[in-house]
Amino acid sequence: MSVNKLSTEESYKSLDKIETDLLRPMTHHKGFELWILFLILIFIVGGYAYFIQLRDGLGVTAMRDYSSWGMYIGNFVFFVAASLIGMFISSVLGLLKIKWITPITRIAEMIALAFAMWAGIVIVIDMGRPDRLLNVFLHGRFQSPILWDVTVVSTYVAISLLLLLLPLIPDAAIIRRRLPNLPKWQMKIYDLLYLGWEARPEQYRIIKKAMRILAILIIPVALAIHTVTSWLFAATLRAGWDSAIFGPYFVSGAFVAGVAAVIIAMYFFRYNYKLSDYITDFHFNRMGQVLVLVSAIYIYFNLNEYFVPAYKMRTAEKLHLDEMFTGHWAILYWFTQIACLAIPSFLLIFKRMRRPFTMLWLSVLVLIGAWLKRFLIVVPVQQHPYLPIQNVPESFHHYIPTGIEITLTILPFAGVLLIITIIAKLFPVISVWEIAHEKGVDESIIK
Protein backbone atom coordinates (compact mmCIF):
# COMPACT_ATOMS: atom_id res chain seq x y z
CA MET A 1 0.00 0.00 0.00
CA SER A 2 1.61 3.22 -1.04
CA VAL A 3 1.02 6.20 1.20
CA ASN A 4 0.13 9.48 -0.43
CA LYS A 5 1.56 12.28 1.64
CA LEU A 6 -1.04 14.88 2.41
CA SER A 7 -0.41 18.57 2.38
CA THR A 8 -0.13 20.35 5.72
CA GLU A 9 -3.66 21.64 5.59
CA GLU A 10 -5.10 18.27 4.57
CA SER A 11 -3.01 16.65 7.25
CA TYR A 12 -4.53 18.74 10.00
CA LYS A 13 -8.01 18.06 8.69
CA SER A 14 -7.48 14.37 8.37
CA LEU A 15 -5.80 14.02 11.76
CA ASP A 16 -8.62 15.94 13.36
CA LYS A 17 -11.18 13.54 11.95
CA ILE A 18 -9.20 10.48 13.00
CA GLU A 19 -8.75 11.82 16.49
CA THR A 20 -12.38 12.74 16.86
CA ASP A 21 -13.53 9.33 15.66
CA LEU A 22 -11.13 7.22 17.65
CA LEU A 23 -11.18 9.15 20.90
CA ARG A 24 -14.94 9.62 21.04
CA PRO A 25 -15.68 6.24 22.70
CA MET A 26 -13.47 7.26 25.62
CA THR A 27 -15.94 9.93 26.61
CA HIS A 28 -19.14 8.56 25.06
CA HIS A 29 -19.71 5.07 26.27
CA LYS A 30 -23.33 4.25 26.88
CA GLY A 31 -23.97 1.68 29.59
CA PHE A 32 -20.39 1.66 30.75
CA GLU A 33 -21.27 1.81 34.45
CA LEU A 34 -23.90 -0.87 34.08
CA TRP A 35 -21.44 -3.15 32.37
CA ILE A 36 -18.81 -2.63 35.07
CA LEU A 37 -21.46 -3.29 37.69
CA PHE A 38 -22.36 -6.54 35.97
CA LEU A 39 -18.72 -7.64 35.95
CA ILE A 40 -18.33 -6.74 39.61
CA LEU A 41 -21.37 -8.83 40.37
CA ILE A 42 -19.70 -11.83 38.73
CA PHE A 43 -16.63 -11.10 40.82
CA ILE A 44 -18.65 -11.14 44.01
CA VAL A 45 -20.33 -14.43 43.17
CA GLY A 46 -17.02 -15.89 42.00
CA GLY A 47 -15.25 -14.63 45.08
CA TYR A 48 -17.79 -16.36 47.25
CA ALA A 49 -17.39 -19.60 45.30
CA TYR A 50 -13.64 -19.39 45.77
CA PHE A 51 -14.10 -18.76 49.46
CA ILE A 52 -16.10 -21.99 49.72
CA GLN A 53 -13.44 -23.85 47.78
CA LEU A 54 -10.73 -22.54 50.09
CA ARG A 55 -12.71 -23.40 53.15
CA ASP A 56 -13.85 -26.90 52.17
CA GLY A 57 -11.07 -27.93 49.82
CA LEU A 58 -11.02 -28.94 46.16
CA GLY A 59 -13.57 -31.60 47.08
CA VAL A 60 -16.25 -29.03 46.19
CA THR A 61 -15.27 -29.61 42.57
CA ALA A 62 -15.98 -32.79 40.64
CA MET A 63 -12.29 -33.63 40.50
CA ARG A 64 -11.26 -36.82 42.23
CA ASP A 65 -8.18 -39.04 42.37
CA TYR A 66 -8.49 -40.27 38.78
CA SER A 67 -9.81 -37.20 36.99
CA SER A 68 -7.62 -34.99 39.10
CA TRP A 69 -7.36 -32.24 36.53
CA GLY A 70 -10.65 -30.85 35.32
CA MET A 71 -12.22 -27.71 33.97
CA TYR A 72 -9.73 -25.40 35.65
CA ILE A 73 -6.81 -26.89 33.79
CA GLY A 74 -8.80 -26.92 30.56
CA ASN A 75 -9.57 -23.28 31.19
CA PHE A 76 -5.91 -22.55 31.84
CA VAL A 77 -4.92 -24.09 28.53
CA PHE A 78 -7.62 -22.05 26.81
CA PHE A 79 -6.42 -18.82 28.39
CA VAL A 80 -2.85 -19.45 27.38
CA ALA A 81 -4.08 -20.32 23.89
CA ALA A 82 -6.14 -17.16 23.51
CA SER A 83 -3.23 -15.04 24.67
CA LEU A 84 -1.11 -16.13 21.73
CA ILE A 85 -3.05 -13.94 19.34
CA GLY A 86 -1.16 -10.79 20.27
CA MET A 87 2.01 -12.29 19.01
CA PHE A 88 0.32 -13.70 15.91
CA ILE A 89 -1.20 -10.44 14.71
CA SER A 90 1.41 -7.89 15.69
CA SER A 91 4.48 -9.99 15.22
CA VAL A 92 3.93 -12.64 12.61
CA LEU A 93 1.64 -10.61 10.35
CA GLY A 94 3.38 -7.35 11.30
CA LEU A 95 6.85 -8.57 10.48
CA LEU A 96 5.54 -9.96 7.21
CA LYS A 97 4.68 -6.32 6.46
CA ILE A 98 0.98 -6.99 6.13
CA LYS A 99 -0.45 -3.49 6.25
CA TRP A 100 -4.16 -4.05 6.87
CA ILE A 101 -3.59 -5.18 10.45
CA THR A 102 -2.97 -1.63 11.72
CA PRO A 103 -6.49 -1.03 13.10
CA ILE A 104 -6.65 -4.38 14.86
CA THR A 105 -3.22 -4.76 16.44
CA ARG A 106 -4.19 -3.00 19.64
CA ILE A 107 -7.36 -5.07 19.96
CA ALA A 108 -5.28 -8.22 19.57
CA GLU A 109 -2.75 -7.06 22.12
CA MET A 110 -5.42 -6.13 24.64
CA ILE A 111 -6.90 -9.59 24.32
CA ALA A 112 -3.48 -11.20 24.60
CA LEU A 113 -2.47 -9.32 27.69
CA ALA A 114 -5.79 -9.85 29.46
CA PHE A 115 -5.80 -13.60 28.82
CA ALA A 116 -2.13 -14.03 29.71
CA MET A 117 -2.54 -12.18 32.99
CA TRP A 118 -5.60 -14.19 33.94
CA ALA A 119 -3.98 -17.47 32.94
CA GLY A 120 -1.76 -17.03 35.98
CA ILE A 121 -4.79 -16.60 38.22
CA VAL A 122 -6.65 -19.52 36.66
CA ILE A 123 -3.83 -21.85 37.58
CA VAL A 124 -3.86 -20.62 41.17
CA ILE A 125 -7.58 -21.40 41.36
CA ASP A 126 -6.68 -25.01 40.59
CA MET A 127 -4.10 -25.31 43.36
CA GLY A 128 -4.86 -27.38 46.42
CA ARG A 129 -2.68 -25.13 48.55
CA PRO A 130 -2.71 -21.64 47.04
CA ASP A 131 -1.35 -20.39 50.37
CA ARG A 132 1.92 -22.09 49.43
CA LEU A 133 2.29 -20.37 46.07
CA LEU A 134 5.60 -18.93 47.21
CA ASN A 135 7.03 -22.45 47.47
CA VAL A 136 7.30 -22.38 43.70
CA PHE A 137 9.93 -19.67 44.08
CA LEU A 138 11.44 -20.85 47.35
CA HIS A 139 11.78 -24.51 46.43
CA GLY A 140 11.34 -24.36 42.66
CA ARG A 141 12.85 -27.27 40.76
CA PHE A 142 13.71 -26.60 37.18
CA GLN A 143 13.08 -30.20 36.11
CA SER A 144 9.37 -29.57 36.40
CA PRO A 145 7.55 -28.21 33.33
CA ILE A 146 5.48 -26.12 35.77
CA LEU A 147 8.57 -24.03 36.44
CA TRP A 148 9.11 -23.57 32.72
CA ASP A 149 5.52 -22.47 32.39
CA VAL A 150 5.80 -19.96 35.23
CA THR A 151 8.94 -18.54 33.65
CA VAL A 152 7.67 -18.17 30.12
CA VAL A 153 4.18 -16.98 31.02
CA SER A 154 5.52 -14.18 33.19
CA THR A 155 8.00 -13.22 30.47
CA TYR A 156 5.18 -13.20 27.98
CA VAL A 157 3.01 -10.99 30.17
CA ALA A 158 5.90 -8.54 30.52
CA ILE A 159 6.63 -8.37 26.79
CA SER A 160 2.94 -8.15 25.90
CA LEU A 161 2.55 -5.27 28.31
CA LEU A 162 5.44 -3.42 26.70
CA LEU A 163 4.11 -4.18 23.26
CA LEU A 164 0.80 -2.66 24.28
CA LEU A 165 2.30 0.33 26.08
CA LEU A 166 4.87 1.44 23.52
CA PRO A 167 2.43 2.40 20.77
CA LEU A 168 0.39 4.17 23.44
CA ILE A 169 3.10 6.80 23.89
CA PRO A 170 2.15 9.02 20.93
CA ASP A 171 -1.52 8.35 21.61
CA ALA A 172 -1.09 9.51 25.18
CA ALA A 173 0.34 12.76 23.85
CA ILE A 174 -2.64 13.13 21.56
CA ILE A 175 -5.09 12.46 24.39
CA ARG A 176 -3.41 15.11 26.54
CA ARG A 177 -3.94 17.63 23.79
CA ARG A 178 -7.42 16.59 22.74
CA LEU A 179 -9.10 15.67 26.01
CA PRO A 180 -7.67 17.96 28.68
CA ASN A 181 -10.86 17.79 30.72
CA LEU A 182 -10.63 14.16 31.71
CA PRO A 183 -10.46 13.39 35.44
CA LYS A 184 -7.18 14.22 37.14
CA TRP A 185 -6.11 10.66 37.90
CA GLN A 186 -6.69 9.73 34.30
CA MET A 187 -4.62 12.65 33.04
CA LYS A 188 -1.83 11.51 35.35
CA ILE A 189 -1.65 8.23 33.45
CA TYR A 190 -1.18 10.06 30.16
CA ASP A 191 1.36 12.42 31.73
CA LEU A 192 3.33 9.39 32.81
CA LEU A 193 2.95 7.58 29.54
CA TYR A 194 3.55 10.19 26.88
CA LEU A 195 7.22 10.45 27.83
CA GLY A 196 7.62 13.88 26.28
CA TRP A 197 6.46 12.81 22.84
CA GLU A 198 6.95 15.60 20.33
CA ALA A 199 6.82 13.63 17.10
CA ARG A 200 10.46 14.27 16.37
CA PRO A 201 12.00 12.02 13.70
CA GLU A 202 14.44 10.75 16.30
CA GLN A 203 11.52 9.69 18.53
CA TYR A 204 9.82 7.91 15.63
CA ARG A 205 13.00 6.08 14.93
CA ILE A 206 13.33 4.89 18.55
CA ILE A 207 9.74 3.84 19.00
CA LYS A 208 9.62 1.93 15.74
CA LYS A 209 12.85 0.18 16.49
CA ALA A 210 11.72 -0.76 19.99
CA MET A 211 8.42 -2.10 18.67
CA ARG A 212 10.25 -4.13 16.10
CA ILE A 213 12.60 -5.63 18.66
CA LEU A 214 9.68 -6.56 20.90
CA ALA A 215 7.77 -8.00 17.97
CA ILE A 216 10.68 -10.30 17.25
CA LEU A 217 11.34 -11.15 20.89
CA ILE A 218 7.77 -12.12 21.55
CA ILE A 219 7.66 -14.84 18.89
CA PRO A 220 9.82 -17.44 20.63
CA VAL A 221 8.29 -16.58 24.01
CA ALA A 222 4.75 -16.98 22.70
CA LEU A 223 5.59 -20.25 21.03
CA ALA A 224 7.19 -21.33 24.28
CA ILE A 225 4.20 -20.60 26.50
CA HIS A 226 1.90 -22.80 24.57
CA THR A 227 4.42 -25.47 23.77
CA VAL A 228 5.38 -25.76 27.41
CA THR A 229 1.72 -25.82 28.38
CA SER A 230 1.21 -28.72 26.00
CA TRP A 231 4.15 -30.48 27.62
CA LEU A 232 2.32 -30.52 30.94
CA PHE A 233 0.41 -33.32 29.25
CA ALA A 234 2.85 -34.64 26.68
CA ALA A 235 5.52 -35.10 29.35
CA THR A 236 3.44 -37.79 31.04
CA LEU A 237 3.18 -41.45 30.12
CA ARG A 238 -0.60 -41.49 29.75
CA ALA A 239 -2.14 -42.88 26.58
CA GLY A 240 -3.81 -39.95 24.83
CA TRP A 241 -1.39 -37.35 26.18
CA ASP A 242 1.80 -39.15 25.35
CA SER A 243 2.07 -37.52 21.93
CA ALA A 244 5.02 -36.04 20.11
CA ILE A 245 3.01 -33.45 18.17
CA PHE A 246 1.33 -31.81 21.16
CA GLY A 247 3.46 -28.65 20.87
CA PRO A 248 2.52 -27.64 17.31
CA TYR A 249 -0.97 -29.13 17.77
CA PHE A 250 -1.61 -26.78 20.68
CA VAL A 251 0.01 -23.77 19.03
CA SER A 252 -2.01 -24.15 15.83
CA GLY A 253 -5.16 -24.55 17.92
CA ALA A 254 -4.26 -21.42 19.82
CA PHE A 255 -4.23 -19.35 16.64
CA VAL A 256 -7.71 -20.59 15.79
CA ALA A 257 -9.03 -19.54 19.19
CA GLY A 258 -7.23 -16.21 19.10
CA VAL A 259 -8.33 -15.23 15.61
CA ALA A 260 -11.93 -16.05 16.53
CA ALA A 261 -11.64 -13.93 19.69
CA VAL A 262 -10.27 -11.00 17.72
CA ILE A 263 -13.07 -11.23 15.16
CA ILE A 264 -15.64 -11.09 17.94
CA ALA A 265 -13.90 -8.10 19.49
CA MET A 266 -13.63 -6.38 16.09
CA TYR A 267 -17.35 -6.78 15.59
CA PHE A 268 -18.13 -5.42 19.01
CA PHE A 269 -15.88 -2.38 18.69
CA ARG A 270 -16.93 -1.66 15.15
CA TYR A 271 -20.57 -1.32 16.07
CA ASN A 272 -20.47 -0.17 19.67
CA TYR A 273 -17.66 2.29 19.21
CA LYS A 274 -18.90 3.30 15.75
CA LEU A 275 -15.60 2.55 14.07
CA SER A 276 -16.91 1.19 10.79
CA ASP A 277 -14.70 3.62 8.86
CA TYR A 278 -11.66 1.99 10.38
CA ILE A 279 -12.62 -1.64 10.95
CA THR A 280 -14.14 -2.24 7.55
CA ASP A 281 -15.65 -5.14 5.67
CA PHE A 282 -12.27 -5.48 4.08
CA HIS A 283 -10.72 -6.27 7.46
CA PHE A 284 -13.38 -8.84 8.24
CA ASN A 285 -12.83 -10.41 4.87
CA ARG A 286 -9.12 -10.69 5.54
CA MET A 287 -9.56 -12.01 9.06
CA GLY A 288 -11.99 -14.58 7.67
CA GLN A 289 -9.30 -15.77 5.32
CA VAL A 290 -6.82 -15.94 8.16
CA LEU A 291 -9.27 -18.03 10.17
CA VAL A 292 -9.63 -20.45 7.28
CA LEU A 293 -5.87 -20.74 7.01
CA VAL A 294 -5.20 -21.38 10.70
CA SER A 295 -8.17 -23.76 10.93
CA ALA A 296 -6.84 -25.76 8.01
CA ILE A 297 -3.51 -26.15 9.78
CA TYR A 298 -5.26 -27.12 12.98
CA ILE A 299 -7.43 -29.68 11.20
CA TYR A 300 -4.29 -31.18 9.75
CA PHE A 301 -2.84 -31.60 13.23
CA ASN A 302 -6.12 -33.06 14.47
CA LEU A 303 -5.96 -35.61 11.74
CA ASN A 304 -2.51 -36.63 12.88
CA GLU A 305 -3.47 -36.62 16.53
CA TYR A 306 -6.57 -38.78 16.18
CA PHE A 307 -6.35 -40.72 12.95
CA VAL A 308 -2.91 -42.24 13.44
CA PRO A 309 -3.60 -43.79 16.87
CA ALA A 310 -7.10 -44.73 15.71
CA TYR A 311 -5.61 -46.68 12.82
CA LYS A 312 -3.58 -48.82 15.21
CA MET A 313 -5.96 -48.90 18.16
CA ARG A 314 -3.41 -49.87 20.75
CA THR A 315 -5.24 -51.18 23.83
CA ALA A 316 -4.72 -48.14 26.02
CA GLU A 317 -5.45 -45.66 23.23
CA LYS A 318 -8.46 -47.64 22.06
CA LEU A 319 -10.30 -47.21 25.34
CA HIS A 320 -9.81 -43.49 25.16
CA LEU A 321 -10.60 -43.16 21.46
CA ASP A 322 -13.70 -45.35 21.67
CA GLU A 323 -15.10 -43.07 24.34
CA MET A 324 -14.35 -40.06 22.17
CA PHE A 325 -15.60 -41.38 18.82
CA THR A 326 -18.63 -43.41 19.85
CA GLY A 327 -18.81 -43.50 23.63
CA HIS A 328 -19.39 -41.16 26.51
CA TRP A 329 -17.80 -38.07 24.95
CA ALA A 330 -18.93 -38.66 21.37
CA ILE A 331 -21.57 -35.92 21.19
CA LEU A 332 -19.25 -33.31 22.63
CA TYR A 333 -16.35 -34.51 20.52
CA TRP A 334 -18.15 -34.43 17.19
CA PHE A 335 -19.87 -31.17 18.01
CA THR A 336 -16.47 -29.64 18.71
CA GLN A 337 -14.75 -31.08 15.69
CA ILE A 338 -17.52 -30.66 13.13
CA ALA A 339 -19.84 -27.87 14.22
CA CYS A 340 -17.14 -25.73 15.80
CA LEU A 341 -14.20 -26.33 13.52
CA ALA A 342 -14.87 -28.07 10.23
CA ILE A 343 -18.13 -26.33 9.29
CA PRO A 344 -17.14 -22.75 10.22
CA SER A 345 -13.84 -22.97 8.42
CA PHE A 346 -15.49 -24.54 5.40
CA LEU A 347 -18.17 -21.86 5.24
CA LEU A 348 -15.59 -19.10 5.52
CA ILE A 349 -13.96 -20.27 2.33
CA PHE A 350 -16.81 -18.54 0.53
CA LYS A 351 -16.58 -14.81 0.21
CA ARG A 352 -20.28 -14.42 0.82
CA MET A 353 -19.79 -15.76 4.32
CA ARG A 354 -16.96 -13.43 5.21
CA ARG A 355 -19.27 -10.62 6.29
CA PRO A 356 -19.17 -9.13 9.78
CA PHE A 357 -22.43 -10.59 11.04
CA THR A 358 -22.00 -14.17 9.83
CA MET A 359 -18.40 -14.08 10.91
CA LEU A 360 -19.40 -12.99 14.38
CA TRP A 361 -21.53 -16.09 14.85
CA LEU A 362 -19.11 -18.45 13.22
CA SER A 363 -16.36 -17.06 15.44
CA VAL A 364 -18.48 -17.53 18.53
CA LEU A 365 -18.93 -21.17 17.52
CA VAL A 366 -15.22 -21.57 16.89
CA LEU A 367 -14.39 -20.04 20.25
CA ILE A 368 -16.82 -22.28 22.11
CA GLY A 369 -15.33 -25.23 20.29
CA ALA A 370 -11.86 -24.10 21.22
CA TRP A 371 -12.79 -24.13 24.88
CA LEU A 372 -14.54 -27.50 24.65
CA LYS A 373 -11.57 -28.95 22.84
CA ARG A 374 -9.28 -28.09 25.76
CA PHE A 375 -11.73 -29.76 28.08
CA LEU A 376 -11.71 -32.84 25.84
CA ILE A 377 -7.94 -32.92 25.79
CA VAL A 378 -7.64 -32.67 29.56
CA VAL A 379 -10.47 -34.69 31.06
CA PRO A 380 -11.29 -37.92 29.17
CA VAL A 381 -7.71 -39.22 29.06
CA GLN A 382 -7.56 -39.42 32.82
CA GLN A 383 -10.57 -41.68 33.00
CA HIS A 384 -8.63 -44.42 31.26
CA PRO A 385 -5.49 -45.03 33.22
CA TYR A 386 -3.48 -48.18 32.53
CA LEU A 387 -4.82 -49.91 35.64
CA PRO A 388 -8.55 -50.13 36.32
CA ILE A 389 -10.39 -47.69 38.58
CA GLN A 390 -11.84 -49.84 41.36
CA ASN A 391 -12.95 -49.81 44.99
CA VAL A 392 -13.78 -46.12 44.92
CA PRO A 393 -17.15 -44.34 45.04
CA GLU A 394 -19.14 -43.90 41.86
CA SER A 395 -18.19 -40.21 41.65
CA PHE A 396 -14.55 -41.17 41.08
CA HIS A 397 -15.46 -42.78 37.77
CA HIS A 398 -17.01 -39.68 36.21
CA TYR A 399 -16.37 -36.03 35.90
CA ILE A 400 -19.35 -33.72 35.82
CA PRO A 401 -18.31 -30.17 36.80
CA THR A 402 -20.01 -28.69 39.84
CA GLY A 403 -21.60 -25.26 40.15
CA ILE A 404 -18.58 -23.93 41.99
CA GLU A 405 -16.28 -25.11 39.24
CA ILE A 406 -18.45 -23.53 36.58
CA THR A 407 -18.60 -20.26 38.51
CA LEU A 408 -14.86 -20.22 38.97
CA THR A 409 -14.43 -20.91 35.27
CA ILE A 410 -16.64 -17.96 34.34
CA LEU A 411 -14.93 -15.65 36.83
CA PRO A 412 -11.65 -15.34 34.88
CA PHE A 413 -13.62 -14.51 31.73
CA ALA A 414 -15.21 -11.64 33.59
CA GLY A 415 -11.69 -10.68 34.61
CA VAL A 416 -10.51 -10.67 31.01
CA LEU A 417 -13.48 -8.55 29.96
CA LEU A 418 -12.79 -6.17 32.81
CA ILE A 419 -9.18 -5.65 31.76
CA ILE A 420 -10.23 -5.12 28.14
CA THR A 421 -12.98 -2.72 29.23
CA ILE A 422 -10.59 -0.67 31.31
CA ILE A 423 -7.97 -0.46 28.59
CA ALA A 424 -10.64 0.46 26.06
CA LYS A 425 -11.93 3.16 28.39
CA LEU A 426 -8.53 4.70 29.00
CA PHE A 427 -7.17 4.48 25.48
CA PRO A 428 -8.43 4.40 21.93
CA VAL A 429 -8.81 0.78 20.82
CA ILE A 430 -7.25 1.71 17.50
CA SER A 431 -3.84 3.28 17.42
CA VAL A 432 -4.44 6.90 16.41
CA TRP A 433 -0.94 7.76 15.29
CA GLU A 434 -0.48 4.61 13.27
CA ILE A 435 -3.75 5.15 11.44
CA ALA A 436 -2.81 8.78 10.79
CA HIS A 437 0.47 7.56 9.42
CA GLU A 438 -1.24 5.20 7.11
CA LYS A 439 -3.50 7.93 5.84
CA GLY A 440 -0.46 10.00 4.92
CA VAL A 441 -0.77 12.63 7.65
CA ASP A 442 2.38 14.69 8.08
CA GLU A 443 4.33 12.87 10.77
CA SER A 444 5.51 15.92 12.62
CA ILE A 445 2.02 17.04 13.64
CA ILE A 446 1.02 13.76 15.31
CA LYS A 447 1.63 14.73 18.90
Partner 1 sequence: MEEAKNLSNSSQQEENNARRGFLKKLGLVVGAGAAMTAGAVYLGYDHEQKKNPDGKKVRVLTADGQLMEVSEAELIEAANQGTNEESELQRRGREGLPGKHWVMVIDLSKCRNARMCMAACQGAHHLRPEQHHINVLRMQDAENTEPYFMPKPCYHCDNPPCTKVCPVDATFKRQDGIVLIDNQRCIGCRFCIAACPYSARVFNWIEPLKSEEDKDIPYDVELNVPQRKGTISKCLFSADCLRKGELPYCTRACPNGVYYFGDLNEDTVTNGTTRETVRFSELIRKNGGYTVLEELGTKPQVYYLPPKNRLFPYQYEGKTTIDPEDSRVGGGRG
Closer to partner 1 by CB, 109 or 317: give it.
317
Candidate list 81, 164, 319, 435; residue touching partner 1; CB under 8 A: 319
Candidate list 24, 176, 178, 238; residue touching partner 1; CB under 8 A: 238
**How near is the Cβ of 48 to partner 1 at its closest, in Å?**
19
Candidate list 7, 20, 31, 57; residue touching partner 1; CB under 8 A: 57
Closer to partner 1 by CB, 280 or 402: give it.
402
Applying CB under 8 A, does 136 fall inside the site for partner 1?
yes
For every residue of the chain, which 3-state class applies, written as one string? CCCCCCCHHHHHHHHHHHHHHHHHHHHCCCCHHHHHHHHHHHHHHHHHHHHHHHHHCHHHCCCCCCCCCCHHHHHHHHHHHHHCHHHHHHHHHHHCCCHHHHHHHHHHHHHHHHHHHHHHHHHHHCCCCHHHCCHHHHCCCCCCHHHHHHHHHHHHHHHHHHHHHCCHHHHHHHHHHHCCCCCHHHHHHHHHHHCCCCCCHHHHHHHHHHHHHHHHHHHHHHHHHHHHHHHHHHCCCCCCCCCCCHHHHHHHHHHHHHHHHHHHHHHHHHHHCCCCCCCCHHHHHHHHHHHHHHHHHHHHHHHHHHHHHHHHCCHHHHHHHHHHHCCCCHHHHHHHHHHHHHHHHHHCCCHHHCCHHHHHHHHHHHHHHHHHHHHHHHHHHHCCCCCCCCCCCHHHHCCCCCHHHHHHHHHHHHHHHHHHHHHHHHCCCCCHHHHHHHCCCCHHHCC
Applying CB under 8 A, does 297 fall inside the site for partner 1?
no
Applying CB under 8 A, does 2 fall inside the site for partner 1?
no
Closer to partner 1 by CB, 105 or 383: give it.
383
Candidate list 392, 406, 422, 445; residue touching partner 1; CB under 8 A: 392
**How near is the Cβ of 416 to partner 1 at its closest, in Å?**
23
Binding segment for partner 1 among 157-165, 228-236, 327-335, 363-371 (CB under 8 A)?
228-236
Closer to partner 1 by CB, 19 or 126: give it.
126
Candidate list 184, 312, 393, 400; residue touching partner 1; CB under 8 A: 393
Applying CB under 8 A, does 403 fall inside the site for partner 1?
no
Q: Which residues bind partner 1 (CB under 8 A)?
A: 56-59, 63-66, 68-69, 126-130, 132-133, 135-136, 138-141, 143-147, 150, 232-233, 235-238, 241, 315, 319, 382, 384-393, 396
